[in-house]
Amino acid sequence: MIEVSQLNKFYGNKQVIKDVSFTLSAGGITSIIGPNGAGKSTLLSLISRLLPADSGSVRVDGMNVATTPGPQLAKRLSVLRQENHFVSRLTVKDLVSFGRYPYSQGRLTVEDHEKVNAAMAFLDLQVLQHRFLDQLSGGQRQRAFVAMVLCQETDYVLLDEPLNNLDMQHSVAMMKQIRRAADELQRTVVLVIHDINFAAAYSDRILAMKNGQLIFDGSPQTIMTPQVLEQVFNLPVQIEQINGQPVAVYYR
Q: According to the binding rule CB under 8 A, does residue 101 interact with other proteins?
A: yes
Residue 124's CB is within 10 A of a number of other CB atoms, namely 13
Kindly give, in sequence order, each residue whose CB lies less than 8 Å from that of residue 194, ignoring residues fewer than 6 positions away.
33, 161, 163
**Smallest distance from the beta carbon of 171 to other proteins, in angstroms?**
23
CA gap 74, 69 in Å, rounded: 9
CA gap 6, 196 in Å, rounded: 26
**Smallest distance from the beta carbon of 49 to other proteins, in angstroms?**
7
Q: Whose Cβ is closer to other proteins: residue 16's or residue 228's?
A: 16
Site string for other proteins, 146-185 (x = CB under 8 A): ---x--x---------------------------------
Q: Whose Cβ is closer to other proteins: residue 134's or residue 184's?
A: 134
Q: How far is CA 198 from the centre of its chain?
A: 13
Q: According to the binding rule CB under 8 A, does residue 10 interact with other proteins?
A: no
Q: Whose Cβ is closer to other proteins: residue 106's or residue 244's?
A: 106
Q: According to the binding rule CB under 8 A, does residue 105 interact with other proteins?
A: yes
Q: What is the largest CA-CA distance in the chain?
A: 55
Site string for other proteins, 51-90 (x = CB under 8 A): ------------------xxxxxxx--xxxx--xxxxxxx
Structural contact between residues 152 and 102, judged by C-beta atoms closer than 8 angstroms: yes
**Smallest distance from the beta carbon of 101 to other proteins, in angstroms?**
5
Q: According to the binding rule CB under 8 A, does residue 236 interact with other proteins?
A: no
Helix (H, G, I), strand (E, B) or coil at 37: coil
C-alpha distances out from residue 240 to 84, 99, 218, 226, 248, Å: 36, 41, 19, 10, 6
Residues near other proteins (CB under 8 A) = 45, 48-50, 69-75, 78-81, 84-90, 94, 98-99, 101-102, 105-107, 149, 152
